[in-house]
Amino acid sequence: MKHYPALAIENFGKHIHGDIVAFNWLIENNYHELIATLDAIRDDKKAFKFLIDGKHFELAAFVNAIWDDTKAFKFLIDTKAFDWAACANFINGDDKAEQALKAAGKLHYVAVAHAILGRIHEDGDRNTTPTGVIKNMLNFKKAFQK
């Protein structure tokens, strides 16, 4: 399991909010997998494959745990990726997970969880606009044309 310094996690959180400087910092400091994690959370299959192919299994499990995959959550616990597990749990509505991260001084993970929640809500809201609904319908039709 790769250890991420607080600065990398802080920049990941800023990137989630769309901060270009943070994105560039992640690229320049070779944290491409954190960028791919956000894309995978947003259902980018190539980004998820990048995580798997690069052996970033904890991050791939984190992505799946966010979407209520209990096996992925168990994998995080088994590999002692407790910060990612708590972050996923908090995203899934467990307020005790947020308190545990705060008590452990892991405020950067709390910030990432809040950022991801905001991005998920933003993406969901975008999909419910009239334009988003039409776009989704066209994508749905394309899926069955193959």
SS3 state of residue 73 = helix
Q: Supply the pTM of this predicted model.
A: 0.83
Domains in the chain: boundaries = 6-145
Q: How far apart are CA 41 and CA 57, in angstroms?
A: 14
Mean pLDDT of 51-77: 96
pLDDT at 133 over 90: no
Distances (CA, A) of 77 to 17, 65, 83, 111, 129: 27, 11, 9, 21, 38
12 — pLDDT class (breaks 50, 70, 90):
very high
pLDDT number for residue 2: 85
CB neighbour list of residue 53: distance below 8 Å, 6 or more residues apart: none
